[in-house]
């Protein structure tokens, strides 16, 4: 029995030695990969951050920006954000097989991300925003089954959005804003069952929005501003978007009516439809979006009156309505939104006078732009109650009286 115990102890000791040796070999692999990265950027590290810190005389897990796992001692996260680094990402980075998070945002990396990163099967987060990466979006991202967040905004990526991106069934956050991407939004987007945020603003995307995008109940934010998208918004746009908080479609070529169905996106906080070709009237149903803080509706080709129901938006902070073909007066209900900070109703062909209590119900109002309309009457003295007002533009209207004459752009 005693000999058996001795044999067991020897076996356990050998296993521990093998494990230690194996771990040392693996951390050496991680060290080699990181040193390869250091060699790519050593000439462009203005403060020599990595040169002073990444040294073979100190453990890898103590290096700046490096995090290791407590169990296996392997590199699990690399954070080199905002270090003003310049260079290329080496192929050896694909050897960091335990890497979960890669954050190199706010630097000057260029070239392309190497295909060897496809070996990082544990990867959950990649943030390469605000660099100078060029070429196309690598299709190998679709081979990372655990990827949840992919940030590639503000680079110089071109070409189409690869459909393979939408093979990543766990993807929750996709941000591609501020590139040179073209082509259509892939229909395959419908396969992303867990997508919360999609940012495609400031690209050159064309075509219509895939109707399947509006069937993803997990979506919280849709950003499509400043592209070349066109077509009509579906009448049932909000039937399957119960969690949507922001819908930004400005600076495109959408036409047709603004769907009254938007009221079903009851959690909507930001609605921006400016600089499109919408026609018809402003749906009164928008007044049911009581969580709205930002509402932008111009310029478009809208007509009719401003619905008084917009006064129900008691959390609204910014209201923008300009260069439309509206009629009637400004509803008094807008001046009872106590949270309102910026009110812009410019070049909309509105008539009538302003309510006598203007300023009393808007204590947080900072800027008012009402120029290029046909508003008339005496400008109310109650505006003096808006103590935070810094900009008041009433130009090109028909106001009368000394109070109106003393008001102008950038004057209180």
Nearest-angstrom CA–CA distance, 202 and 179: 7
Closest among 324, 265, 272 to 291, alpha carbons compared:
265
Domain 1-99 matches domain 328-412 at the CATH topology level: yes
Q: What is the mean pLDDT of the chain?
A: 90
29 pLDDT above the threshold of 60: yes
Could you give the percent of the chain with pLDDT greater than 90? 78
Confidence of residue 8 (pLDDT cuts 50, 70, 90): low
Nearest-angstrom CA–CA distance, 92 and 35: 9
11 pLDDT above the threshold of 70: no
| CATH superfamily label, 1-99 | Ribonuclease Inhibitor (3.80.10.10)
Calculate mean pLDDT across residues 296-315: 94
Tokens 């592209």, residue located: 227
C-alpha dihedral sign at 51, 55, 61, 62: negative
Closest among 259, 297, 256, 257 to 275, alpha carbons compared:
297
pTM of the full structure: 0.87
CATH for 328-412, options being 3.30.365.10, 2.40.30.60, 3.80.10.10, 3.50.50.60: 3.80.10.10
Instruction: Tell which wins on pLDDT, 390 or 22.
Output: 390
Nearest-angstrom CA–CA distance, 53 and 350: 65
108 in Cβ contact with 83 (< 8 Å): no
Nearest-angstrom CA–CA distance, 91 and 216: 36
Closest among 253, 256, 283 to 271, alpha carbons compared:
283
17 pLDDT above the threshold of 60: no
CB atoms within 10 A of CB 337: 22
Kindly list the domain boundaries of the chain, sorted by start residue: 1-99, 328-412
Closest among 32, 46, 129 to 81, alpha carbons compared:
129
- Three-state DSSP string of the chain: CHHHHHHHHHHHHHHHHHHHHHHHHHHHHHHHHHHHHHHHHHHHCCCCHHHHHCCCCCCHHHCCCEEECCCCCCEEEEECCCCCCEECCCHHHHHCCCCCEEECCCCEEEECCCHHHHHCCCCCEEECCCCEECCECCHHHHHCCCCCEEECCCCCCEEECCHHHHHCCCCCEEECCCCEEECCCCHHHHHCCCCCEEECCCCCCEECCCHHHHHCCCCCEEECCCCEEEEECCCCCCCCCCCCCEEECCCCEEEEECCHHHHHCCCCCEEECCCCEEECECCHHHHHCCCCCEEECCCCCCEECCCHHHHHCCCCCEEEEECCEECCCCCHHHHHCCCCCEEEEECCCCEECCCCCCCCCCCCCCEEECCCCEEEEECCHHHHHCCCCCEEECCCCEEECHHHHCCCCCCC
Instruction: Tell which wins on pLDDT, 15 or 149.
Output: 149
| Region class of 310: left (phi > 0), else alpha (psi between -120 and 50), else beta | alpha
Which range, of 38-47, 144-153, 282-291, averages the lowest pLDDT? 38-47
Tokens 């018809």, residue located: 280
Calculate mean pLDDT across residues 153-176: 95
133 pLDDT above the threshold of 50: yes
Calculate mean pLDDT across residues 118-147: 96
Confidence of residue 397 (pLDDT cuts 50, 70, 90): very high
């Amino acid at each position: 029995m005693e000999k058996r115990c001795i044999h067991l102890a020897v076996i356990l000791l050998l296993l521990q030695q093998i494990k230690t040796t194996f771990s040392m070999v693996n951390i050496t692999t991680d060290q080699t990969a990181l040193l390869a990265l250091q060699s790519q950027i050593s000439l462009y590290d203005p403060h020599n951050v990595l040169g002073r810190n990444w040294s073979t005389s100190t453990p890898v897990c103590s290096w700046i920006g490096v995090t290791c796992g407590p169990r296996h001692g392997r590199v699990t996260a690399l954070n080199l954000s905002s270090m003003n680094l310049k260079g290329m990402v080496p192929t050896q980075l694909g050897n960091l097989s335990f890497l979960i998070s890669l954050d190199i945002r706010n630097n000057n990396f260029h070239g392309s991300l190497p295909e060897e990163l496809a070996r990082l099967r544990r990867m959950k987060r990649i943030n390469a925003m605000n660099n100078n990466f060029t070429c196309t979006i690598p299709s190998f991202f679709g081979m990372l089954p655990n990827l949840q967040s992919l940030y590639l905004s503000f680079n110089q990526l071109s070409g189409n959005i690869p459909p393979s991106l939408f093979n990543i069934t766990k993807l929750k956050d996709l941000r591609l804003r501020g590139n040179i991407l073209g082509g259509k939004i892939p229909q395959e987007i419908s396969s992303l069952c867990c997508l919360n945020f999609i940012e495609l603003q400031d690209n050159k995307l064309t075509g219509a929005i895939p109707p399947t995008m509006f069937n993803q109940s997990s979506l919280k934010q849709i950003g499509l501003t400043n592209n070349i998208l066109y077509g009509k918004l579906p009448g049932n746009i909000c039937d399957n978007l119960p969690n949507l908080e922001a819908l930004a479609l400005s600076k495109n070529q959408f036409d047709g009516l603004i769907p009254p169905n938007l009221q079903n996106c009851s959690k909507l906080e930001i609605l921006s439809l400016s600089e499109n070709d919408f026609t018809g009237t402003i749906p009164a149903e928008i007044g049911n979006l009581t969580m709205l803080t930002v509402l932008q509706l111009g310029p478009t080709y809208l007509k009719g009156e401003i619905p008084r129901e917009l006064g129900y938006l008691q959390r609204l902070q910014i209201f923008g309505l300009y260069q439309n073909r509206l009629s009637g007066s400004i509803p008094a209900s807008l001046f009872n939104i106590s949270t309102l900070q910026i009110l812009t109703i410019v070049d909309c062909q509105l008539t009538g006078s302003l309510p006598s209590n203007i300023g009393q119900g808007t204590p947080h109002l900072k800027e008012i732009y009402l120029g290029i309309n046909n508003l008339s009457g005496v400008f109310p003295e109650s505006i003096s109650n808006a103590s935070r007002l810094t900009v008041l533009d009433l130009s090109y209207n028909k106001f009368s009286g000394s109070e109106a004459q003393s008001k102008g752009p950038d004057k209180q």
